[in-house]
Amino acid sequence: MKHYGRELQQTADGTYTLFIPEIDEHYHSVNGAITEANHVYIKEALLHRLYKGASLVIKDKEIIKVLEVGFGTGLNAFLTLINAIENNIRIEYVTLELYPLSQDIISKINYGAFVDERYSGLYMKLHESEWDKPVEIDKNFILTKKNIDLKDFISDPVFDVVYFDAFAPDKQPEMWNDEIYKKIVDSMAENGVMTTYCAKGVVRRGFRDAGLTMERIPGPPGKREMIRGSKI
């Protein structure tokens, strides 16, 4: 996968994604990259964990820990950073990526151009930060990008929110099996929430058997359903 070419493609909401022809796979939904990320990860995972209705359910000064599987273009990290600033929440964000993208691709995809201009410059800041150490991108957001294989990641149960954003099971089956589901669940704190765009029954049952309470919920445009798991 490392040496595969990646093509820039525009999606239905005007934002771009990457396509890998060799495995016929996109990094995001062609029905809207930012729209999908905002729905699957921000609304249904991060904000679901932070709020009950209009009330914030986290303690004063609590630091929310987010784990992402697959940093890729950094879109989920970028939207999480913007939400941390706007909600004045402190987030420690750990993201795993085995195949980091080149700066050339990142500057072409430039999600900074699609958000409020107060935040535009932060997109490149995420990408220019060093790997494998915590970096303060903003006082509300500490980023650790780990250049490792998910298979080698081991964590204590500390994460409040997990974005499981691997390539699809038929394209990268080694990211979707019982060992991986257990690894994810073991990394989650009590009341932790995990979402993924993939709604397959076998995935839902896999996370359920690993210990999460699973829900099927409406997906982003073009996708009827997605799944969310909670560690109750």
Ligand X SMILES: C[S@@+](CC[C@H](N)C(=O)[O-])C[C@H]1O[C@@H](n2cnc3c(N)ncnc32)[C@H](O)[C@@H]1O
Contacts with ligand X by CB under 6 A lie at 27, 70, 72-73, 75-76, 96-99, 149-150, 165-167
167 versus 181: smaller Cβ distance to ligand X: 167
Residue 216 CB, nearest approach to ligand X (Å): 20
58 versus 223: smaller Cβ distance to ligand X: 223
Residues 6+ apart with CB under 8 A from 110: 123
58 versus 200: smaller Cβ distance to ligand X: 200
62 versus 149: smaller Cβ distance to ligand X: 149
3 versus 59: smaller Cβ distance to ligand X: 3
Residue 100 CB, nearest approach to ligand X (Å): 8
Residue 61 CB, nearest approach to ligand X (Å): 28
3-state secondary structure the chain: CCCCCCEEEECCCCCEEEEEHHHCEECCCCCCHHHHHHHHHHHHHHHHHHEECCEECCCCCCEEEEEEECCCCCHHHHHHHHHHHHHCCEEEEEEECCCCCCHHHHHHHCHHHHCCCCCCCHHHHHHHCCCCCCEEEECCEEEEEECCCHHHCCCCCCEEEEEECCCCCCCCHHHCCHHHHHHHHHCEEEEEEEEECCCCHHHHHHHHHHCCEEEEEECCCCCCEEEEEECC
47 versus 105: smaller Cβ distance to ligand X: 105
Q: Within 10 A of 4 (CB to CB), how many other CB atoms are there?
A: 11
Residue 165 CB, nearest approach to ligand X (Å): 4
Residue 177 CB, nearest approach to ligand X (Å): 12
Residue 90 CB, nearest approach to ligand X (Å): 22
